[in-house]
Amino acid sequence: MAKVVLSCTVNSEPQQIIIDDRDSLADVLRDKLHLTSVKKGCEVGECGACTVLINDEAFDSCIYLAIWAEGKEIRTVEGLMDADGEISDIQQAFIDEAAVQCGFCTCGFIMSSMPILESDEEYTRDEIRKQIAGNFCRCTGYENIANAVEKVKEDRMNNKK
């Protein structure tokens, strides 16, 4: 083991953090940066609650070694709120579509949906489901989560037209 300095960008802010080279990225985001949206539900990449974006792709941060994040751009749910405290469309949709219950999986789902929402391509409902299938939820039966993502995807595509 060794202490190393990790330089990366987290939610648009450059960071230099002293980490243990055995840390997972989830450890660093939670324990060093206090980003509590990153939840640990299994620690082996099965539940998806710790999903974050690394260079715009979704990863389980629990099975991503923090040392690999060197030079990368990390995004978590905390980064979705703007400077004035306005939340993003997808967060609002989770509220409006009653897609939140216990809330423990919520932030992971939101981050898993980001690559879909930020893509220029169209997604069918089945394709959306496939892209959020790495996240477990035990409260909602996924119905309203899929609705929320689908609705925002539709809105964003319409706004592009």
Partner 1 sequence: MYDIKKIYKATSVQDAIKHLVDDPNALIIAGGSDILIKIHKGKLAGCSLVSIHDIDELRGVSMQDNGDIKIGPLTSFSNLSKDHIIKRYIPVLGEAVDQVGGPQIRNIGTIGGNISNGVTSADSASTLFALNAMLEITGPNNSRIIPISEYYLGPGKVDLKNGEVLTAIIITKENYEDFTGHYIKYAMREAMDIATLGCCVTCKLNDQKDTIKDVHLAYGVAGPIPMRCPRAEKSIIGMKISDEMFNTLGKIALTEVKPRTSWRASKEFRLQLVEELCKRSLKEAIKKSGGVING
Partner 2 sequence: MSIGKSIKRVDAFEKVTGRAKYTNDYQINNAYVARILHSTIANGIVKSIDISEAVKLEGVVKVVTCFDVPDITFPTAGHPFSLDPKHMDIADRKLLNQRVRYYGDDVAAVVAKDEITAARAVNLIKVEYEEYEPILSIEDALKEGVKPIHDDYPDNILAHSSYEIGDYENAIKEEGLIAFEGEYETPTVKHCYIESAVSYAYEEKGRTVVVTSTQIPHIVRRVVGQALGIGWGKVRVIKPYIGGGFGGKQDVLYEPLNAYLSKIVGGRCVKLNIPREENFVSTRVRTAMKFKIKSYVRPDGRFVARKIELYGNKGAYASHGHSMVAKACNAFKQIYQDEIATKGDAYTIFTNMPTSGAMRAYGIPQITFAVESHVDEIAKALKLDPIEIRKLNMMKLGFVDNGIKCYCNGLEECIEKGKKYIDWDNKIIEYKNQTGPIRKGVGMAIFSYATGVYPISLETASCRIILNQDGSVQVQMGATEIGQGADTVFAQMVSEVLDIPIENVHMVSTQDTDITPYDSGAYASRQSYVSGMAAKKAALKLKEEIIAHANFMLKLPLGNIDLERNCIVNKKTGEVLCSLEEVAMHALYNKEKSVHIRADITNQCKSNSFSLGVCFVDIEVDIPLGKIKVNKVINVHDCGKVLNPELAAAQVHGGMSMSLGFALSEHLIFDKKTGRPLNNNLLDYKLPTVMDTPHLEAQFADTYDISGPFGNKALGEPPTIPVAPAIRNAILNATGVSFNTAPFTPQRLVEKFKENNL
Residue 127 site contact among partner 2, partner 1, none (CB < 5 to 8 Å, cut-off depends on kind): none
Total Cβ atoms within 10 A of residue 95: 12
Q: In this structure, are residues 152 and 101 in contact, taking their beta carbons and an 8 Å threshold?
A: no
Binding residues for partner 2, total number by CB under 8 A: 55
Q: Which residue has the tokens 């979705």?
A: 80
Residue 144: CB atoms within 10 Å: 19
Answer for which of 5, 21, 22, 154 binds partner 2 (CB under 8 A) is 22
E strands in 23-65: 51-54, 57-60
Letter for the amino acid at 32? Answer: K
User: Which of 87, 84, 78, 96 lies closest to 35, judged by CA?
Assistant: 78
Q: Does 22 bind partner 1 (CB under 8 A)?
A: yes
Please select the residue that binds partner 1; options are 8, 58, 105, 146, rule is CB under 8 A.
58
Residues forming the site for partner 2 (CB under 8 A): 22, 30-31, 34-44, 46-47, 49, 76-78, 80-81, 87, 91-92, 94-96, 98-107, 110, 129-130, 132-133, 135-146
Residues forming the site for partner 1 (CB under 8 A): 1-2, 20-24, 27, 43-46, 48, 51, 57-60, 63-65, 67-68, 70, 112, 115, 130-136
